[in-house]
Amino acid sequence: MHFRPAAFAISLAAVLLAAGRAPAARETRPPNELGRIPIMEYHKVDLPEARWTRTPEHFRADLDRLWKDGYRTVALRDVLKGEINIPAGTSPVILTFDDSSPGQFKYLEGSGEPKIDPDCAIGILEKFAQDHPGFGHNATFYVLTGASPPNKLFNQPKLAAQKLQYLASHGYEIGNHTLWHADLIKYPETTVREQIARAQQEVQKAVPGYVLHTMALPLGDYPKQHEWAISGSWKGIEYKNDAILRVAGGAAISPFDRTFDPYKLPRIQAIDSDLNEWRVGFERHPEQRFVSDGDPKAITVPRGQKARVRPEFAARVVEK
């Protein structure tokens, strides 16, 4: 029998896909660390599916699609620092959750220690990461600390502090979404600063010393002066955001690109139309997708593209 490499590669890929595993991405995707990075935006994880609601079943399907398409979750804080450490041939994806709605993080209460609901976003994500080593469970939760129920800290008041402590101690990021989802463009400077500072203050009551480093704009609206959202203080409470996330806009520019603006980060809303548009766009233009070289110390870019890299990263650039 003659060995045919091409046929073997095709059959191996079929076996891996049937097993729920994607074939090694490095075989087909050349590195391009100037490509774009999707920042996924989820709101409710609940029933039924709606404009701002993703069902648990669809959320699981989203994660499965990301895995098979060669994505791995990364922390927003690491992307901002230019520290993206994922295998060669894979691509980073950032998961974000707005509004601290109940289906994002729910404990099943009963006798004994509360257990995480396997159908809430945290339960689904952690189980998926366990079943798919290397995918990770990185995510940022933009919580509302002063909102009315059901969006005030996942709507389990007695367990709210425990949940924030869990997020902080299990590698998740907690982000600022204002105190009660204030539409910042409508308010004067003092109110804007109070909304941001007090949101951080409330988180610190549960997690002393925890600092919120990023902010998701309620309704996508900046305050009248953008700098009010970036840094400042209110009654002695200081805050500083390293990034500000919008409510839409597509995939984000690479943090290594000269045009990268951390205070205007776009996101992809988790609804089928937006998800499909983004996926089709990368399928048609694969050169626009961020693909890792597998070396966190190097920044690999297409030949002739070094001039696009931010000066502070120039020493790490490799052209291929």
Token pair 């290594």: residue: 256
Q: What is the pLDDT of residue 28?
A: 76
Supply the range of the domain harboring residue 228.
34-293
How far apart, in Å, are the Cα atoms of 37 and each of 14, 100, 137? 27, 24, 17
Please give the tally of structural domains in the chain.
1
**Among candidate residues 214, 187, 185, 189, the one with its CA nearest the CA of residue 199:** 214
Q: How far apart are CA 311 and CA 256, in angstroms?
A: 9
Angle between helix axes 160-169 and 189-206 (nearest 10 degrees) is 80
Q: How far apart are CA 263 and CA 242, in angstroms?
A: 7
Q: What residues does 245 pair with on adjacent strands?
A: 216, 265
Say if residue 5 is preceded by a cis peptide, omega within 30 of 0: no
The two structure tokens encoding residue 85: 């450490």
Residue 8 phi, psi (nearest 5): -60, -40
Tell me if 8 is assigned to some domain: no
pLDDT tens over the chain, length 320 residues: 333 333 323 333 333 344 444 444 445 799 999 999 999 999 999 999 999 999 999 999 999 999 999 999 999 999 999 999 999 999 999 999 999 999 999 999 887 889 999 999 999 999 999 999 999 999 999 999 999 999 999 999 999 999 999 999 999 999 999 999 999 999 999 999 999 999 999 999 999 999 999 999 999 999 999 999 999 999 999 999 999 999 999 999 999 999 999 999 999 999 999 999 999 999 999 999 999 999 999 999 999 999 999 999 999 999 99
Tell me if 315 is assigned to some domain: no
CB atoms within 10 A of CB 158: 9
Tell me if 10 is assigned to some domain: no
Q: What is the pLDDT of residue 236?
A: 97
Tell me if 4 is assigned to some domain: no
Tell me if 22 is assigned to some domain: no
Tell me if 222 is assigned to some domain: yes
How far apart, in Å, are the Cα atoms of 245 and each of 121, 175, 220? 20, 10, 8
**Among candidate residues 211, 127, 113, the one with its CA nearest the CA of residue 159:** 113
The pTM is what? 0.91
Q: What is the pLDDT of residue 112?
A: 84
Q: How many helices (H) and strands (E) does the chain have?
A: 8, 16
Inter-residue contact 143 to 174 (CB < 8 Å): yes
Tell me if 312 is assigned to some domain: no
CATH number of the domain where residue 83 is located: 3.20.20.370
Tell me if 2 is assigned to some domain: no
